[in-house]
Structure 1
């Protein structure tokens, strides 16, 4: 979300996104989804119906006063609020995102809390911010005593999952929770670029250098979109990995394929809700992993397998007299 008047103060934006299958047997309708994500009584839940249905919770602010991670081990203290919210895509895929922007410099001592509360989602360093060192340190991960944005996203995820009146915790398929960590700075003396990597533990990391005229806060929506499609691709690929397709295994194969078709295959819609100025950035991020190419191949494999098993099933039905 853009915050006019605060964007000029920010030189670095960071965040983490958690993506998972909603723990429910069926996809939630719009009314149930709004009920699930009503996390604050003073703000309404946002609903977007085109090009697909997206329900977004109000922002939840967490006050922090702690050290920031750095790659050099330098001690950098910042004070302010981290903004977090939950998103539900087509009533089926749940995402929780926590993020913050960082000002270039702050006073040598801390202000009263009121100063920070009127700057939601902005952290102000005590002194000057070594932005590149903090950006690299954030991607490497926090150490004890340092800001842990992932735990804030996890807290939002747990808060949503506890809604027992809405969720039956009986999902139609098993799927992992994916983590995406991102940073964004402005490219001043260099060309804009984007780097997408996966750590050994499955952590996704995105490093962005954005054009000077692009608000850093726009990077959050881009990374949420990337996290969603990375999760979809990972989940479908994992389900198809090693799938036995022998005719004797018809029922086992269908138990894998049918939930994918019912719940996930229609959700692939990259770049649906990112700013037009960032669409080329998404294209660059997708080019190296080749997400759409791989997704199209997997989707075709699912369709082919269903067609093959339908033909085999028809072949077992006796013909008429």
Structure 2
């Protein structure tokens, strides 16, 4: 007879937190689905999740990192916590790489540290020693904490560094871009209220912060999935905005004498990588849990993610059209 399974007496989580790193995969060509699986094979005992609908997507199995450290706190409280932080990586259309680390925390924990076996059977949970001042810790996480405090961003960054050393990568990206960081916390919603975004901010050094309210019992992996999706589309917006800001749009092309092999206009050269590698990636909520998908409606209302994206895409297409017309005009223009 099998031994009875030990009942988990851990209180429900009152705080989840995480951080996402998003960057352009440093390769000239996007990876196919098999290469993506090879890149994200972080564990030999578990397969990479692969999907071709509605777009090409690969996600690594979770890895666990043990932590034993103080928690960041906005009011200066020093609360020690022990447990494991889950981390994973994802690749969208073989082109955009993301790493994320996240954990959940209960309202109370044991008065003293327990053997590691206790924590290993609770993956992705970090337990405080005593009571958790969850509001203060949530703000402390968003503020960044002090050296030595729990920093899930360091875990996400370490995983990203590991993946960027993979021999599959040729480190010749088709366009210039910067990585972004999205730091998030999720607290319980009041009563029977649904999920909501309390605050979304753009901070310095490519940092974004998000404070969420979610119904009790919402899996932290689902919250992390929502934030991965938000980070992906924020990165796309940021990258295309900077691409357009970095070139002179609307400037008339310089008149040149005919040459044997006409050169492509600088604007076309600058914009083509966006068309080839980025514009088809916009697909909000493609892999967000159904219960959390309504949060995208708030983002569409303000600041209006998709509205801004469509405007950017139209600007790119208009510029390419104008330069194509100008190129045809120059070809048929009679010699003076």
TM bucket, shorter chain: over 0.9
Whether 2:78 is the aligned partner of 1:75: answer yes
**2-side partners of 1:8 and 1:265: how far apart?**
44
**2-side partners of 1:316 and 1:247: how far apart?**
12
**2-side partners of 1:213 and 1:77: how far apart?**
24
In structure 2, stretches of 5+ residues that fail to align are 1-7, 255-263
Aligned-partner SS, 1:170: coil
Write out aligned runs for 1:103-122 (5 A): 103-122=106-125
- Greater shift, 181-190 or 140-149, is seen at 181-190
Whether 2:198 is the aligned partner of 1:209: answer no
Runs of 4+ off more than 4 Å: 5-8, 189-192
Structure 2 CA distance for partners of 1:212 and 1:58, relative to 1, 3 Å: closer
Give how far 1:254 is off: 1.2
1:86-116 deviations in whole A, cap 9, x for unaligned? 1000000000000001111111100000100
Between Structure 1 and Structure 2, the one with more helix by share is 1
Alignment check: 8 A CA contact 1:12 1:216 kept: no
1:20-43 deviations in whole A, cap 9, x for unaligned? 000000000011111111111111
Whether 2:236 is the aligned partner of 1:237: answer no
TM-score in terms of structure 2 length: 0.90
Structure 2 CA distance for partners of 1:113 and 1:212, relative to 1, 3 Å: closer
Alignment check: 8 A CA contact 1:210 1:216 kept: no
Give how far 1:287 is off: 2.2
Corresponding residue to 1:220 among 218, 224, 228: 224
Give how far 1:214 is off: 3.7
Give how far 1:242 is off: 4.7
Give how far 1:159 is off: 0.6
Structure 2 CA distance for partners of 1:161 and 1:140, relative to 1, 3 Å: same
Give how far 1:9 is off: 2.4
Whether 2:97 is the aligned partner of 1:99: answer no
Corresponding residue to 2:265 among 248, 251, 254: 251
- Matched residue, 1:277: 291
In structure 1, stretches of 5+ residues that fail to align are none
Whether 2:209 is the aligned partner of 1:196: answer no
Alignment check: 8 A CA contact 1:237 1:298 kept: yes
The number of residue pairs the alignment matches comes to 315
- Matched residue, 1:135: 138
TM-score in terms of structure 1 length: 0.94
Corresponding residue to 1:180 among 179, 182, 188: 182
- Matched residue, 2:276: 262
1:60-96 deviations in whole A, cap 9, x for unaligned? 1100000000000100111000000110000000000
**2-side partners of 1:259 and 1:300: how far apart?**
15
- Matched residue, 1:54: 57
Structure 2 CA distance for partners of 1:143 and 1:190, relative to 1, 3 Å: farther
- Greater shift, 292-301 or 235-244, is seen at 235-244
RMSD over aligned Cα, in angstroms? 1.9
